[in-house]
Structures are given as structure tokens and as C-alpha cells.
């Protein structure tokens, strides 16, 4: 177990993007939470500090917790390849997919227990009775029983799920149920994700949120977008060098480095005048990067001349909890290599370095703002931060009508929904139509920004967590909702 160092962020910065009455509500809620949680520590436990939506949210939620006067800390479990292979299998099964097709057996359960028991050593001395511990996702829930025995109040925050139970998800829940039942409360992004055997009174529904001030979402000038993408070698240089400076989470200045090889198998960056269809996600089978590539390549003629596809994911060497990533990236490289040269020249794979999380976020920000149309053709999605982020930036998004995405996008209002993620012809048609209609792109983009402002910013998220913590401290149960 290792701790992630996070500095405090002031809540009053929300006044820059929210009306005064919403800021006042947040401040009142924060003062109440600080009073109720005095003397307690709120711990967050996750499987990685970088390379995914959970880590990104914790970067800011932990900082705002500290800024609200609540002692808030974040630790990350360590594990070996077998541990993360098992938890990736659980991840796929919960979503209703077979994943690697392997079974979950008694040896897997024993190894899972052993790895988490080793993580508890030493850290258990820091957890005090009355502390609140949020365990994030299947990688950490096996700690629940031991932490409750120490007197902590334990919340399992599950960021994934499927609206419909099937044989695959049942296998995962059978494995996890003994651990899950040890927690005091449960948080899901959608009520449909909670297994039927969980007591409804202990289930809370709290969708994720976006931090509008992070390096990934802060405003950027055209000069900054151009400078970042040129310096990183992703887009060919236009006139001038552009601005390569950015602000880190701790308020210190940063500078985009010169990068070599972010574009996989590429000799040249994207043309500066290219219209870009973009998907940003992990190299994860459920994100279906290969399907996006195939859908574009097989229906290339639908798209106007000059449209390029850019698939962006993390450098797989920097994501320790996802052993599947390298395989998915390799499959995408093979698909691209098999394309005819003219088509291949319009398809680009990009792996962003993970050794500097702030620079990585700044580059994603620039890439999303540079895109003409953003897609998220996931086969399943618990909640898509990679949908919310471009919506905040007023980009039109075409996304699969699966999981939490249907809570984020109103079809043909704040985005465009693909009803069947496997329908590549329909996917290409929806995306191509947006490229041909700039007025519709602008209308959808403006509505998308407004929807994120109303429903998916951090003030709502923090207030809901405060209500949950207060209920635990008071010994009460989840309100009916």
C-alpha cells in the first residue's frame, strides 16, 4: 500500500463557473461535513493513481475534501500480475462479458485474499475507529471485513456495472459477495448496477463528476491547443510555435515536453487542417477501439475528404492494473497495418505518456478541444467521463446507448446516441452526418456544456458524499430514492 500525496483545493473556486446560490449551498454543506467528521479521517483506497476515471476523480475529490476542512487521504493497493488478471476478469464479468474466458476458482480467491492482506500490513495501524474508508471497485473490496474489525466504517464505491444480470455477472458477484457484504454502505453510479441481494436501504446512487479546473478541463486558448499538440508531435505545425505552458494541480507552472513516438507506427503527425474524429479511452476491449477503427475504415467513403480518425489511450506501460491493455493496443495496430495505404494514412493511434499526470491531462484537454467530433463507442460503460469531458468543451459526442451514457446524453439534444454499439454502419452514418452539418454540431455542443454544468460538476458530487458520510456517522440508512 502506498499513499498518494494530494494538496488541498479551495471550494470557493467554484464561484468561477457556478451561480452564487449553488456556491453558497456547497459552502454550507462543506461546513456541516467538517463539523460532523471532526477527528475522523476519510480514506480512499484504489488500485492505481493514474490511467483511468477513478484516479482522475480522486485527484480532485480528495483535494476538495481537504479544502473543505475534512481530513482526507488516498492510498493505492499494490499487486502482482495474477492479482490484476483476476480483478480484470471480474471487471469484464460484472459488465456481462466473458473477458479472457477463464474461470474464477478457489486458488484465485485465495490469492486475492493474500494480496490484500499483505496490503493491509502497516496501513492498519493508521486506520482509527470511526474513520471512514471508501474502497473503490473490485480490486479493493476484499479489505472491507478487516477494516470494519478495526472499527472503521466502510463504503464500497463500485464504478462499474451492467443494467441486466446474466451468467457472466453472476459469476463475478458470486466471487465478490462475501467481501461486498462486509461493507456498511454501497455507492453505484446507477441503481440498476446494484445486485438485487444488497439491502436497498444501504445503497446510494452517486454519479461521477467532472472538475472544470483540472488540467484536463480548464479553458485553453487556440494558441495553447496548437502549442501542446505541436510540441507533443501529434499535429503538424501551423504558423507560430503556440503556447506550451500549463498549470499543474498544485498551482505550479508546467511545460509540455518534446515527445517522440506518441503516435504509434506513425511517420508524420496529423495534418493541421484535418477534421478529427476522436475517441479517448483506455485500451480496453469494452471501449471497443478496434470497432471504432473498423467502423471508420470500412465506411471511409461516408466521411468528407480530410476527416481523420484519432484513437488515444495511455501508454500501456504506465497502467499497472490493466494487463489487457497491451493486447488491445496490439490488435488495433494490426488492424491499422492491414488497411490500404490511403486509408491507413487517415487512421492514427496515440499512446500518451503516464509519467506526468498533469501534462497527460493537459494533452487530453488539447486533443479534445482540437477534435471536430468525439465518439465513445463502448460496448458497456459504467459512466463515461470521456463523454462528459468533451461535452463540457462543447464538442458533439456520438456515444453508445449503454450504461451510464444514457444518463449523460439526451439523444440529438446534448449528444447523439448509438442504440446498437455493434452496428458499425449506423455508427459511421451518425458520425459522418455531424461532420457535414456544422450548425448541428454547434447546437449539440452548446447543449452538452449546459447539461454538464447542471448535473455533472463536483459540487453535486461533494454534497452527496457529505450526506452519505453524515448518515454513516449518525447510524442512519440511505434515504429512499
Residue 246 inside a domain? The answer is no
Q: Are residues 409 and 344 in the same domain?
A: yes
- What pLDDT does residue 192 have? 93
Residue pair 457/64 in contact by the 8 Å Cβ criterion: no
Is residue 481's pLDDT more than 60? no
Is residue 478's pLDDT more than 70? no
pLDDT tens-place string over residues 171-202: 999 999 999 999 999 999 999 999 999 999 99
Stretch 299-326: mean pLDDT, rounded? 88
Euclidean distance between CA atoms 125 and 270, whole angstroms: 52
Stretch 68-76: mean pLDDT, rounded? 96
Residue 243 inside a domain? The answer is no
Q: Hey, what's the cell of 361?
A: 491531462
Stretch 285-295: mean pLDDT, rounded? 96
Euclidean distance between CA atoms 351 and 329, whole angstroms: 9
Stretch 261-276: mean pLDDT, rounded? 90
Backbone angles phi, psi at 146, to 5 degrees: -65, -40
Q: State the residue range of the domain holding 37.
A: 2-209+457-474
pLDDT classification of 440: cutoffs 50, 70, 90: very high
pLDDT classification of 53: cutoffs 50, 70, 90: confident
Q: Are residues 111 and 15 in the same domain?
A: yes
Is residue 479's pLDDT more than 80? no
pLDDT classification of 239: cutoffs 50, 70, 90: low
Stretch 97-125: mean pLDDT, rounded? 92
pLDDT classification of 218: cutoffs 50, 70, 90: very high
Which residue in this structure is represented by grid cell 449528444?
Answer: 415
What sign results for the dihedral spanned by CA atoms 110, 112, 113, 118? positive
Residue 32 inside a domain? The answer is yes
Residue 250 inside a domain? The answer is no
| In the chain, % of residues over pLDDT 70 | 97
- What pLDDT does residue 476 have? 52
What CATH number corresponds to the domain at position 440? 3.40.50.2000
Q: Are residues 23 and 71 in the same domain?
A: yes
Q: Are residues 316 and 188 in the same domain?
A: no
Residue 275 inside a domain? The answer is yes
Q: Are residues 425 and 470 in the same domain?
A: no
Q: Transcribe 404-434 into DSSP letters.
A: THHHH--BTTTBEEES-TT-HHHHHHHHHHH
Is residue 264's pLDDT more than 50? yes
The total of structural domains in the chain comes to 2
- What pLDDT does residue 251 have? 81
Is residue 457's pLDDT more than 90? yes
Which range among 33-37, 196-200, 343-347, 471-475 shows the weakest confidence by mean pLDDT? 471-475
Residue 347 inside a domain? The answer is yes
Which residue in this structure is represented by grid cell 477527528?
Answer: 39
Q: Are residues 431 and 469 in the same domain?
A: no
Instruction: Give the residue from 462, 455, 453 showing the smallest Cα distance to 18.
Output: 453
- What pLDDT does residue 268 have? 84
- What pLDDT does residue 96 have? 87
How does DSSP classify residue 4?
P
pTM: 0.91
Which residue in this structure is represented by grid cell 490511467?
Answer: 51
Stretch 22-28: mean pLDDT, rounded? 97
Euclidean distance between CA atoms 351 and 313, whole angstroms: 5
Residue 237 inside a domain? The answer is no
Q: Are residues 124 and 170 in the same domain?
A: yes
Q: How far is CA 369 from CA 55, 216, 392, 438, in A?
A: 22, 10, 10, 15
Q: Are residues 470 and 385 in the same domain?
A: no
Residue 313 inside a domain? The answer is yes
Q: Are residues 462 and 441 in the same domain?
A: no
Stretch 395-402: mean pLDDT, rounded? 98
Higher pLDDT, 148 or 250: 148
Q: Are residues 340 and 388 in the same domain?
A: yes
Q: Are residues 392 and 466 in the same domain?
A: no
Q: Are residues 302 and 391 in the same domain?
A: yes
Is residue 241's pLDDT more than 70? no
Q: Hey, what's the cell of 94?
A: 460484472
Q: Hey, what's the cell of 129?
A: 475507529
Amino acid at each position: 500500500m502506498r499513499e498518494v500525496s494530494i494538496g488541498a483545493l479551495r471550494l470557493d473556486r467554484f464561484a468561477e463557473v457556478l451561480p452564487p446560490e449553488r456556491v453558497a449551498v456547497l459552502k454550507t454543506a462543506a461546513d456541516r461535513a467538517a463539523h460532523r467528521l471532526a477527528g475522523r479521517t476519510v480514506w480512499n483506497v484504489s488500485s492505481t493513481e493514474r490511467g483511468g476515471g477513478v484516479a482522475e476523480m480522486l485527484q480532485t475529490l480528495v483535494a476538495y475534501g481537504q479544502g473543505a476542512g475534512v481530513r482526507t487521504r488516498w492510498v493505492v493497493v499494490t499487486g502482482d500480475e495474477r492479482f490484476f488478471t483476476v480483478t480484470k476478469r471480474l471487471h469484464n464479468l460484472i459488465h456481462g462479458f466473458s473477458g479472457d474466458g477463464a474461470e474464477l476458482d478457489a486458488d484465485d480467491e485465495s490469492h486475492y485474499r493474500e494480496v490484500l492482506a499483505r496490503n493491509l500490513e502497516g496501513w492498519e495501524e493508521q486506520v482509527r475507529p470511526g474513520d471512514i474508508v471508501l474502497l473503490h471497485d473490485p480490486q479493493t473490496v476484499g479489505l472491507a471485513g478487516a477494516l470494519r474489525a478495526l472499527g472503521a466504517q466502510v463504503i464500497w464505491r463500485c464504478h462499474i456495472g451492467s443494467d441486466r444480470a446474466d451468467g457472466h455477472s453472476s459469476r463475478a458477484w458470486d466471487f465478490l459477495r462475501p467481501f461486498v457484504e462486509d461493507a456498511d454502505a454501497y455507492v453505484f453510479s446507477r441503481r440498476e448496477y446494484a445486485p438485487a441481494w444488497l439491502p436497498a436501504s444501504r445503497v446510494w446512487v452517486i454519479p461521477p463528476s467532472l472538475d472544470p479546473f483540472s488540467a484536463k478541463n480548464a479553458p485553453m486558448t487556440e494558441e495553447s491547443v496548437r502549442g501542446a499538440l505541436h510540441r507533443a508531435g501529434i499535429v503538424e505545425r501551423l504558423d507560430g510555435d503556440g503556447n506550451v505552458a500549463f498549470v499543474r494541480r498544485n498551482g505550479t507552472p508546467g511545460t509540455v515536453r518534446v515527445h517522440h513516438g506518441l503516435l504509434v507506427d506513425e511517420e508524420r503527425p496529423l495534418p493541421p487542417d484535418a477534421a478529427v474524429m476522436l475517441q479517448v479511452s483506455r485500451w480496453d476491449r469494452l471501449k471497443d477501439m478496434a470497432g471504432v477503427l473498423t467502423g471508420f475504415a470500412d465506411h471511409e467513403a461516408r466521411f468528407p475528404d480530410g476527416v481523420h480518425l484519432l484513437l488515444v489511450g495511455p501508454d500501456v506501460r504506465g497502467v499497472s492494473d490493466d494487463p489487457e491493455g497491451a493486447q488491445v493496443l496490439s490488435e488495433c495496430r494490426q488492424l491499422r497495418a492491414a488497411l490500404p495505404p490511403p486509408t491507413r494514412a487517415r487512421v492514427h493511434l496515440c499512446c500518451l505518456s503516464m509519467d506526468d499526470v498533469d501534462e497527460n491531462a493537459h494533452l487530453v484537454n488539447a486533443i479534445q478541444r482540437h477534435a471536430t467530433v468525439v465518439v465513445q463507442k463502448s460496448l458497456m460503460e459504467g459512466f463515461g467521463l470521456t463523454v462528459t469531458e468533451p461535452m463540457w468543451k462543447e464538442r458533439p459526442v456520438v456515444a453508445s446507448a449503454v450504461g451510464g451514457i444514457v444518463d449523460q446524453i439526451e439523444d440529438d439534444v446534448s449528444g447523439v446516441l448509438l442504440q446498437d454499439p455493434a452496428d458499425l454502419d449506423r455508427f459511421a452514418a451518425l458520425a459522418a452526418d455531424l461532420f457535414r452539418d456544422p450548425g448541428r454540431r454547434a447546437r449539440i455542443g452548446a447543449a452538452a456544456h449546459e447539461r454538464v454544468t447542471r448535473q455533472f460538476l463536483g459540487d453535486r458530487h461533494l454534497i452527496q458524499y457529505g450526506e452519505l458520510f453524515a448518515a454513516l456517522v449518525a447510524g442512519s440508512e440511505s434515504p429512499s430514492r
